[in-house]
């Protein structure tokens, strides 16, 4: 049990729609990162938030956006969904930018 909770666990959306995925971190974890994992591949870094500010971003278009709240929970928003956005979305939190990561179980998004 890592103490990192993601919701929902599964989600089906239609191309063009928007989706919000949520991550609740352990108390005191001020850093959260989001990753996209396509089937059979390793995770890809989307972005990281540290103390509510974006602190690094991978090669994802602007329609992928995020928020981190004062209680260190976090959201990943994806606009104008595409079929290729179908993947497992993982969040990971830590209590510092160079500390071990604690992963949630992920949200499996299917875009039809």
Nearest approach, Cβ of residue 109 and another protein (Å)? 12
With tokens 């991978």, the residue in question is: 58
Nearest approach, Cβ of residue 9 and another protein (Å)? 9
44/80 with CB nearer another protein = 44
Segment contacting another protein by CB under 8 A, of 20-28, 53-61, 63-71, 72-80: 53-61
Closest CA to 44 of 30, 59, 55: 59
Rounded CA-CA distance 55/39 in Å is 27
Nearest approach, Cβ of residue 56 and another protein (Å)? 3
Rounded CA-CA distance 28/24 in Å is 11
Q: Which residues in the 70-89 window bind another protein by CB under 8 A?
A: 88
Rounded CA-CA distance 14/41 in Å is 23
Nearest approach, Cβ of residue 16 and another protein (Å)? 26
Q: Which residues in the 90-109 window bind another protein by CB under 8 A?
A: 90, 92, 97-106, 108
Q: Is 18 a residue that touches another protein (CB under 8 A)?
A: no
16/67 with CB nearer another protein = 67
With tokens 């602190």, the residue in question is: 55
Contact 12, 110 (CB under 8 A): yes
């Amino acid at each position: 049990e890592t103490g990192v909770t993601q919701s929902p666990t599964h989600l089906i959306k239609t191309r063009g729609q928007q989706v919000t995925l949520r991550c609740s971190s352990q108390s005191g974890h001020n850093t959260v990162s989001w990753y996209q994992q396509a089937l059979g591949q390793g995770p890809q870094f989307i972005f990281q938030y540290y103390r509510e500010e974006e602190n690094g971003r991978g090669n994802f278009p602007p329609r992928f956006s995020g928020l981190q709240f004062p209680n260190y929970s976090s959201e990943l928003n994806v606009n104008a969904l595409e079929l290729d956005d179908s993947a497992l979305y993982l969040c990971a939190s830590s209590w510092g930018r160079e500390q071990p990561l604690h992963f949630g179980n992920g949200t499996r998004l299917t875009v039809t």
